[in-house]
Structure 1
Amino acid sequence: MKESVGQESPWGVYTLLIVIALSVVSGRIAVVISREGDTAFLSANDRSRWCTIAALVEHGTYVIDPYLNRRGAKANRRPWATIDLVRHRGRDGKMHYYSSKPPLLPTMIAGVYWGVTRTMGMWLSDQPIYLGRVILWLVNVPTLAVFLLATIAALDRVMEDRWAKWFLAAATCFGTMLLPFSIALNNHLPAAASMAMVLWIFVRSFEQPTTTLWWFLAGLAGGFTAANELPALSMTVFWAGLFLLVRRDALIGYSAGVLVVAVAFFATNWIAHESLRPPYMHRGDGQRIATLAPAEDGEPPTAPQVLKPLIDANLAQPDSQVSLQPSRRQDRLRVVIGDSLQVGLSRVAEGQWELHHWDDWYDYPSSYWVEGRRRGVDVGEPSRFVYAAQMTFGHHGIFSLTPLWLLMPVGLVGAWTWNRREHRLLLASIAAATIVCGVFYVLRPEIDRNYGGVSVCFRWLLWFAPLWLFSAAGPAQWLAARRWGRMLAVGMLALSVASMATSLDGPWQSPWLYRFWSFLGWIEP
């Protein structure tokens, strides 16, 4: 059933759905509180960013040491403590703790906190519940509004059937797992909103004049998606390829926007860590310092044997105190020089050891990210086949937790039925990015095959939401023309909304399927 000229605009229904979604999130943020009742921070993941935000405004630094042992209302509670942190030498030459998250997003949110604290005269560290909720609302509700408005506007432009439009508008507002993530500080909601903005600008460009400023905005959004979700860089590149094929006038503005975000991303990373790589990428051995002579007994070198090559490399003095400490890897030791510098001592062959600069920022005393300390899904899935099955149709399944996404592959396969070449190329790009990112996560090392940690879904692909909804437009219109098709579509949406609703108390918990299967004894939590 096609929409005829003169019919009433569907934006009345769109507005109602969007207002309801934003109201639900606003209500949840108004009462959001930690399990222990002392902050508005729901897990180690968002606490990591909150620590950076507070440290920047209250102390002018990215160092989060003062917050990790901060006590709450209960004497034995550390409400700011987090496992998502790294440790490395700071500009003062001493070892400090930092958030493991890229610093660009927390730096931007720190700007919001600065405005709030100047207006309200309160510090987040003193009022982590009240002020945390205020900042969370100011950040997440507008971001969610951008995602909803941009996605629905893009779908409205390419669809003709009124019922199908309403169906996908409802799916956008309530059918994805982005609503639960809207009540906690995270990178997934901004990434999805940014991707929705690029999608909308691309779709509208074929019906309305689009200036360089619009393409610059698209570049900012595309670059910001990649800054929040590194694998989304694939789609950022595919957008550039699309513009090269169908809108060459967009390339300059789009590239300039991406460049601005790239500069901001690397600049904040350098200011925070004196490194261009994000902190979570520092998990291995640094540059080699020296190779030590093989030990006859196969034992690692002693501290005096290690001291000489360190002196030769100007890393120690003859009177320096050197100690060898265990590392999170069995084939490596931490060499601590005094109380401020450490290097690595790694076994590269039987009896053969190398000294190298320290570059494993996750290796520190009391680190959670060592063998024997990680728990649950953080241990990692040994089988790539099982991992792929669970992330698609299993306990963290894209399709099992959100049946609505079953329309996505159908829409991608049926891309050839679209009339516009530009839309067909866009669907092909979405398909390619989906495959690239899916394969990327399956091929990750075992320690990284953890489904995104304790989370209500496979959160690393949430930024695809606007693109997958766009992919579902074709199948939705086909189903809308058939009574049984509408019933099927409503059933898929109902199941997706029900699955989403199980997580409205917070995104940092295991999916309901994972919990149910654990109850049945099918898996070990």
Structure 2
Amino acid sequence: MSDTQQPAASGLGAHARWLIYTVLIAVAIGQAAGKILAVNAVDLVRIEHGRVQKALGKERERLERQGLEGDALQTALDSAETEITRKVRLQRPFLSGNDRSRWMAIRALAENGNHYIEPFFEERTWDTIDMVQHSGRDGKLHLYSSKPPLLMVLLSGPYWVLMKATGLTLGEAPYLLGRTMLLLFNGGALLTLLVCAARLIERVGFGDVDRLFAMAAAACGTQLAAFTPVLNNHLFAAAATAVACDAWLRLLDSEDGIARLSLRAGLAAGLATACELPALALVAVIGLSLLMKRPAETLRGYAVGVGVVAIAFFGTNYWAHESLRPPYAHRSETDPTDNWYDYEFTVRGETCDSYWRNRRGIDVGEASKATYALHTLVGHHGVFSLTPVWLLSLLGGVRLLASRDGTTRQLALATALITAACLVFYLGMRPQGDRNYGGSTNGFRWLFWLAPMWLAMMPAMIDRLKNHRLGFALAAALLAWSAMSASYPTWNPWTHPWVYYWMDWLGFRVL
């Protein structure tokens, strides 16, 4: 750490700051757990209750005509209510086709030992639009999750254990098993993300105030917390990015535990890429940096870690689809046999078209790249309009590019390069069908995995503002605005941001 980044002698000190970090982390984890425990399609509760009561009323009339009364009638009604509730069920803890696609793949692996998800369409409330169709090893057409299978393969193991231990499946006990798994998976990912983000902030920060401000933003001001109630790739990618960056900086700073840290950095960067393809830029930047400093250890540790994840990614993909390319790479417009998104399927005797044959709403995609860039940055799904605290990270990153501390300067440069690469990829290189702002969701979710790096840039700007009353008040206002946007989705991130609805109310054209 450079002399410009040493905390003042009268400051709280690292131990006291870590006590406060722990409190902030605990608050964030508690909020996330509350979201998970409360998760439900609440708009369907009243409808489902009404349908159950209506059906019970008809059943009561039928039983009374048969002469039942008193305790016998009530016993029969109690028995009928269970079956009626199962048949008319609308509530579910899986909030969109995106996460249900993953849950169905996990069920297929653990319950049936394959990747076919079509059997679960026979169960009420189990459906998704995020699926593809192609021939399986048995020569028959099957439906599969459109998500890369590695994450589902990893998570199917714990589900299998829970299933055997309880004798229940997700179809039979979606709330009990689903919430248990989310607490384990997403709670663990969020905890990992926050702890490693705290390490980055502690390493790059200047003093008490700027570090604590950045940690408060990590705990309450990003859009990632909204994704804790749903099974998704973004939270895992952000956690992996935080682990990779933490290990990388420690490798640049220290001579201790080089082999272990190199392997950890490689595994984490590889996992981030498996969850978010543009994180290949992270793999390249960290790899180049370590190769220049520690070539032998990098090849033995970092490269091996990345290689293990790469083998697992392509291996599980081939196991599921007999192709090394993930499902989203099979969207040919010229070869019908290589377009897995163009198909028909049958559910309970009814033939249905793939949703992707006739996209609707926001999934049609933004026709204008300029409009897409505008709304991605400062519009209805804007990085800065929804989470303006990132403006402090932008300015802080500029300051850190001139840092006298080499490690900090490398992190700032890496953050700038990777962010720029992602913006070019998403704003300039995607076809119209992919320019959909991430779909119906609480922000431009494809950049959420960069949050740990952006958080590390924030203390540099807060350090400049902390002694200026108006400047710090503005920073606090930006944090409050960001926390409001993060809290807006309540427990369902698969809803448009508040800015989207506000612009729609004002009469602006939005997809």
TM-score interval (norm. to shorter): 0.7 to 0.9
> How far is 1:203 from its partner?
2.3
Provide, for residues 27-54 of structure 1, a one-character-per-residue CA deviation record: whole Å limited to 9, x for no partner: 1111212354532101000000000011
Q: For residues 179 and 378 of structure 1, what CA distance do their matches in structure 2 show?
A: 24
**2:365: which partner in 1?**
380
**1:196: which partner in 2?**
242
Extract unaligned runs of 5+ from structure 1.
Answer: 72-78, 286-345, 347-355
Residues 246-257 of structure 1 mapped to structure 2, 5 A cutoff? 246-252=293-299, 253-257=301-305
Provide, for residues 122-166 of structure 1, a one-character-per-residue CA deviation record: whole Å limited to 9, x for no partner: 111211122111111111101100000000111112213101111
Which structure shows the higher helix fraction?
Answer: 2
1:374 match: secondary structure: coil
> How far is 1:207 from its partner?
4.3
Cα separation, partners in 2 of 1:368 and 1:399, compared to 1, 3 Å = same
**Does the 8 Å contact 1:189/1:463 carry over to 2?**
yes
**2:161: which partner in 1?**
115
**1:280: which partner in 2?**
328
1:215 match: secondary structure: helix
2:48 is the counterpart of 1:11: no
Extract unaligned runs of 5+ from structure 2.
Answer: 1-5, 45-89, 345-352
**Aligned counterpart for 1:50 among listed residues 103, 110, 129:** 103
**2:202: which partner in 1?**
156
2:458 is the counterpart of 1:458: no
2:404 is the counterpart of 1:419: yes
Using the size of structure 2 for normalisation, the TM-score is: 0.85
Residues 93-242 of structure 1 mapped to structure 2, 5 A cutoff? 93-205=139-251, 206-207=253-254, 209-242=256-289
Q: For residues 139 and 402 of structure 2, what CA distance do their matches in structure 1 show?
A: 62
Using the size of structure 1 for normalisation, the TM-score is: 0.82
**Aligned counterpart for 1:440 among listed residues 418, 425, 429:** 425
Residues 392-403 of structure 1 mapped to structure 2, 5 A cutoff? 392-403=377-388
Q: Higher mean Cα deviation, 209-218 or 16-25?
A: 209-218
**2:51: which partner in 1?**
none
> What code does the residue aligned with 2:410 have?
L
**Does the 8 Å contact 1:39/1:132 carry over to 2?**
no
**Does the 8 Å contact 2:135/2:142 carry over to 1?**
yes
1:358 match: secondary structure: helix
> What code does the residue aligned with 2:9 have?
S
> What code does the residue aligned with 2:21 have?
Y
2:92 match: secondary structure: coil
Which structure shows the higher strand fraction?
Answer: 1
**2:474: which partner in 1?**
488
**Does the 8 Å contact 1:402/1:495 carry over to 2?**
yes
> How far is 1:191 from its partner?
0.1
**Does the 8 Å contact 2:97/2:127 carry over to 1?**
yes
Q: Higher mean Cα deviation, 34-43 or 225-234?
A: 34-43
> What code does the residue aligned with 2:149 have?
P
Q: For residues 26 and 189 of structure 2, what CA distance do their matches in structure 1 show?
A: 14
> How far is 1:89 from its partner?
0.4
**Does the 8 Å contact 1:175/1:402 carry over to 2?**
yes
Q: Higher mean Cα deviation, 31-40 or 10-19?
A: 31-40
**Aligned counterpart for 1:39 among listed residues 92, 106, 110:** 92
Q: For residues 236 and 191 of structure 1, what CA distance do their matches in structure 2 show?
A: 13
> How far is 1:440 from its partner?
0.7
**Aligned counterpart for 2:114 among listed residues 55, 61, 73:** 61
Provide, for residues 438-496 of structure 1, a one-character-per-residue CA deviation record: whole Å limited to 9, x for no partner: 01111210111000111100000000000111122311221223333321221111110
> What code does the residue aligned with 2:343 have?
Y
**Does the 8 Å contact 2:241/2:452 carry over to 1?**
yes
2:485 is the counterpart of 1:499: yes
**Does the 8 Å contact 1:401/1:499 carry over to 2?**
yes
2:350 is the counterpart of 1:364: no
2:148 match: secondary structure: coil
> What code does the residue aligned with 1:32 have?
V
1:362 match: secondary structure: coil
> How far is 1:267 from its partner?
0.5
Q: For residues 110 and 104 of structure 1, what CA distance do their matches in structure 2 show?
A: 10
Q: For residues 512 and 30 of structure 1, what CA distance do their matches in structure 2 show?
A: 24
> What code does the residue aligned with 1:383 have?
S
Q: For residues 245 and 483 of structure 1, what CA distance do their matches in structure 2 show?
A: 43
> What code does the residue aligned with 2:340 have?
W
**Does the 8 Å contact 2:388/2:478 carry over to 1?**
yes
> How far is 1:415 from its partner?
2.9
**Does the 8 Å contact 1:53/1:106 carry over to 2?**
yes
**2:130: which partner in 1?**
84
> What code does the residue aligned with 2:173 have?
Q
Q: Higher mean Cα deviation, 117-126 or 9-18?
A: 117-126
**Does the 8 Å contact 1:161/1:480 carry over to 2?**
no
> What code does the residue aligned with 2:369 have?
R
Cα separation, partners in 2 of 1:248 and 1:470, compared to 1, 3 Å = farther
> What code does the residue aligned with 1:511 have?
P
Q: For residues 297 and 481 of structure 2, what CA distance do their matches in structure 1 show?
A: 40
Cα separation, partners in 2 of 1:401 and 1:357, compared to 1, 3 Å = closer
**Does the 8 Å contact 1:194/1:225 carry over to 2?**
yes
Provide, for residues 286-328 of structure 1, a one-character-per-residue CA deviation record: whole Å limited to 9, x for no partner: xxxxxxxxxxxxxxxxxxxxxxxxxxxxxxxxxxxxxxxxxxx
> How far is 1:3 from its partner?
3.0
> How far is 1:208 from its partner?
6.1
**2:87: which partner in 1?**
none
Count of equivalent residues: 447
Cα separation, partners in 2 of 1:250 and 1:175, compared to 1, 3 Å = farther
**Does the 8 Å contact 2:401/2:412 carry over to 1?**
no
**2:68: which partner in 1?**
none
